[in-house]
């Protein structure tokens, strides 16, 4: 079995293991068993799997990949839990986000090149939800090590063609409004809490639209609502309505938006993940450019890089997956991206110091 065939076989095995966010034990056990057969050290941290090689260096390069996926939508043409290879593409749930990256990193560990720096590969949980896996890894890593130079490579999908060095923040809030309820034949006699919510949405859409622009991360945006539910029946005005709103923020706006929303009485739940930016002059960014990846971008969505950058660890994002197909039916990645991505990772490791 050649290098590419072996990576695809790993991907096939990984796709067959359902690994919804928070339910990663089976896939973690599989990865841990694979890593234990290789010439690297490893340990489990709850359901995180960490493989590492130390050479007594004061510098370290981390590769971070998440094991969890979102749920499959209902309109797949293929079985989402059975890898299909067709016309140069691999199809399967989570193949781009990020099971192809897991397979590539297993191959990298199997053929680990010589390097002057230490290397950690962390397979983490819950990226699609809370980010708890990466947060847990970073805290433990910093407690147990004392490197003078550390950088991280996140393997999120970038079509193996460009580098991301930052992303917008996210504030997710749950609004709830209430009213006396009433019969649907007499709407003028009551207050509809759904109308109350939409008046709030209109206000905050205007508020976000006026926020200042960030030179790197661009504009803040609001999706209002992303979900909405109401009590009652088809012939009744609801007494309670609940909705979620997703706001994407920048370095300029994140704290401002959070502070404003924290004072809103109709918000019953508020969670946040701040924006993350790695300076374009960081050595890991320069190294990626020297290796031929000169297209530098900032993501509109989010990833786990914030857990590293807020601790002073610069992050770059580069992966084989196809970004335009993630979280959709018939998710796929291009086979042609697989080996170049592995080569890029190996070159980073060999030259990082």
The domain of 221 spans 169-273
Res 1: pLDDT: 75
Does residue 25 sit in the same domain as residue 140?
yes
CATH number of the domain bearing residue 293: 3.40.630.10
Res 232: pLDDT: 82
Does residue 37 sit in the same domain as residue 101?
yes
40 with 109: CB under 8 angstroms?
yes
Res 210: pLDDT: 97
Distance CA 225, CA 203 (A): 13
Contacts of 130 (CB under 8 A, 6+ apart): none
* End-to-end Cα distance, the chain: 33
Res 187: pLDDT: 93
Tell which residue, 262, 264, 251, 263, has the closest CA to residue 212: 251
Distance CA 308, CA 150 (A): 10
Res 353: pLDDT: 86
Which stretches in the chain have pLDDT values below 50?
none
CATH number of the domain bearing residue 264: 3.30.70.360
Does residue 16 sit in the same domain as residue 85?
yes
Domain boundary residue, one of 273, 293, 325:
273
Helix ranges restricted to H, the chain: 3-15, 25-36, 100-110, 132-144, 193-209, 254-261, 283-290, 305-309, 338-351
Average pLDDT, the chain: 96
Does residue 114 sit in the same domain as residue 240?
no
The structural domain count of the chain equals 2
Distance CA 310, CA 274 (A): 9
Q: Per the structure block, which two tokens stand in for 334? A: 């291009």
């Amino acid at each position: 079995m050649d290098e590419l065939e072996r990576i695809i076989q790993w991907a096939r095995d990984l796709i067959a293991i359902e690994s919804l966010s928070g339910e990663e034990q089976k896939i973690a056990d599989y990865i841990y068993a694979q890593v234990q057969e290789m010439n690297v050290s490893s340990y489990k941290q709850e359901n995180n799997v960490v493989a590492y090689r130390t050479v007594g260096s004061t510098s370290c390069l981390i590769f971070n990949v998440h094991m969890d996926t979102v749920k499959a939508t209902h309109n797949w043409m293929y079985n989402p839990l059975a890898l299909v290879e067709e016309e140069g593409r691999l199809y399967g749930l989570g193949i781009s986000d990020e099971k192809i990256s897991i397979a590539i990193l297993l191959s990298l560990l199997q053929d680990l090149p010589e390097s002057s720096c230490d290397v950690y590969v962390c397979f983490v949980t819950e990226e699609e939800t809370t980010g708890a896996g990466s947060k847990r890894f970073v805290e433990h890593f910093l407690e147990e090590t004392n490197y003078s130079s550390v950088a991280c490579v996140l393997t999120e999908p970038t079509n193996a063609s460009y580098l991301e060095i930052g992303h917008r923040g996210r504030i997710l809030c749950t609004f709830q409004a209430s009213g006396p309820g009433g019969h649907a034949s007499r709407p003028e006699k009551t207050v509809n809490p759904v109308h109350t919510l939409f008046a709030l949405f209109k206000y905050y859409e205007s508020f976000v639209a006026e926020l200042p622009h960030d030179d790197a991360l661009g504009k803040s945006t609001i999706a209002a609502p992303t979900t909405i539910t109401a009590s009652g029946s088809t012939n009744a005005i609801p007494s309670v309505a609940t909705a979620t709103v997703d706001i994407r923020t920048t370095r300029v706006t994140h704290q401002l938006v959070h502070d404003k929303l924290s004072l809103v009485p109709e918000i019953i739940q508020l969670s946040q993940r701040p924006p993350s930016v790695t300076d374009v002059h960081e050595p890991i960014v320069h190294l990626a450019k020297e290796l031929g990846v000169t297209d530098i971008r900032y993501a509109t969505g989010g990833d786990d890089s914030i857990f590293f950058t807020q601790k002073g660890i610069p992050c770059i994002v580069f992966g084989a997956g196809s970004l335009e197909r993630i979280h959709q039916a018939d998710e796929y990645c291009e086979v042609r991206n697989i080996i170049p991505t592995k080569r890029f990772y190996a070159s980073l490791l060999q030259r990082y110091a």
